[in-house]
Amino acid sequence: MSRPKAIDLFSGCGGLTLGLKQAGFRVIGAVEINSLAVETYKVNHKRVHVWEKDICNLSIAEVKRKLNLKPGELDLLAGCPPCQGFSTMTTLNGKYTSDDPRNDLVFQFLRFVRGLRPKAIMMENVPALAKDRRMTEMLAQLESLGYKCTTDILNAQHYGVPQRRRRFILLAGRREKISFAREARIKPVVRDAFAKLGSSARLDPLHNYKEKRTESVRKRIRSIPSNGGSRFDLGEKHQLKCHQAFDGFKDIYGRMRWDKVAPTITTGCFNPSKGRFLHPTRHRAITLREAALLQTFPASYFFSLERGRILAAEMIGNALPPEFIRRHARKILEALNG
C-alpha cells in the first residue's frame, strides 16, 4: 500500500516535511523562496521536488503536471505562510496592525487548496493569525469549498517538544472534521534534548565552534547562577547599563533549567542578549545544534552554514518542530484511513 501524498508550502528548511514523513506521509513537492533554506532542505529531503521561487509565480497547472496530480488526488496540503508580519514583536503584542505584504500569503495557500482540492489541510502559524480578518475570510472560503475546519492555539510543550512555543494550527478535512492529537504523557525537558548530542558533537560544526565575546561579557556569564539563574541575580551594579534602564525582556542573559522546557527558540537563539539562551551550567550560550535539538530535529539533520551562523539560526528559529507536526499529522492519517 502506497503512503499518502503531501505537499509542503513555504517549506523553509524542512521541519514540517520531516514531521509529515515521520507520521507516515510521502512528501512529493515543496515550495520555498529562500535559497539557503532550499539548500538545507534538499540535503535532508533528496526525493522531494522543490520549487525555489516566489509561490505567487507558481501555477497550479505546473504543480499538477510535474507531480502527476489531478484535483482531489492529493492527500494533504500543509504549510506555514511567513508569519513575521503577525508576530508579537512586529505588532508590539497586538497594539497595532502590521501591513507587511507577507500577511496576504495565506491566500496563496487558499489558492492551492482551490486548485488541488486536497483531502486534508494543515496550516500552522503564530497565534495572532487566529484573530486576523484574513483567517476569518479563509475559514469562510474553506467551508464554502466543503472543508470541515478545526482551529486552536496550542503549546508545543504539550506535544513532545521541550520548549514553550504557542502556535495557531488549522486542520481541515474534506469528508469530516479532524481532531488534534492528544497531549503527550511524557513531556521532555532541556536535559532530554541535550542528551541526544552524542559523541559526534565534537566534529559537528553546528555545535563545535567558539564564541566571540568580550572578557567583561564572559565574566558576567560566569557569574550567573547555574540552572535557571538570570542577570537579576547579579544585582543592579553588575548589569549592563542598557539593562539597568528598563525592566522588560526579563529573560535576557538567563540560563535554561535542566528539568524545565526551554523558552521559545527564536532566530536569536545563540545570543544571550536575545533571551534565556545560556546553557544551564556551561558558561556559554546554547549552540545551534542544541537549539535544533530543542526544536526536535535529530542530531544528524543538516543545516547549511554557507552564509554564517546568523542565517543558520534564522532557519532553526523559524522552523516548525517536527515532533509537534508528527503528532497532529498522525491524526490526519487516522482520518484519511478511516
CA distance 336 to 150: 15
Residue with cell 509561490: 55
Annotated catalytic, 56? Answer: no
Catalytic position from the list 56, 83, 149, 242: 83
DSSP-derived letter for residue 175 is: S
| CA–CA distance, 250 with 193 (Å, rounded to integer) | 24
In the chain, the largest separation of any two C-alpha atoms, in whole Å, equals 67
Q: Which residues contact 223 (CB under 8 A, 6 or more apart)?
A: 234, 238
Q: What is the distance between the alpha carbons of residues 224 and 28, in angstroms, rounded to a whole number?
A: 48
Grid coordinates standing for 179? 481532531
Helices then strands (H, E): number in the chain?
11, 7
Structural element, H or E, at residue 138: helix 133-144
Q: Where are the alpha helices (DSSP H) in 94-132?
A: 106-116
Q: Which three cell numbers stand for residue 149?
A: 475546519
Rounded distance between C-alpha atoms, residue 195 and residue 207, angstroms:
14
CB count, 10 Å around CB of 104? 13
Residues annotated catalytic, as ranges: 83
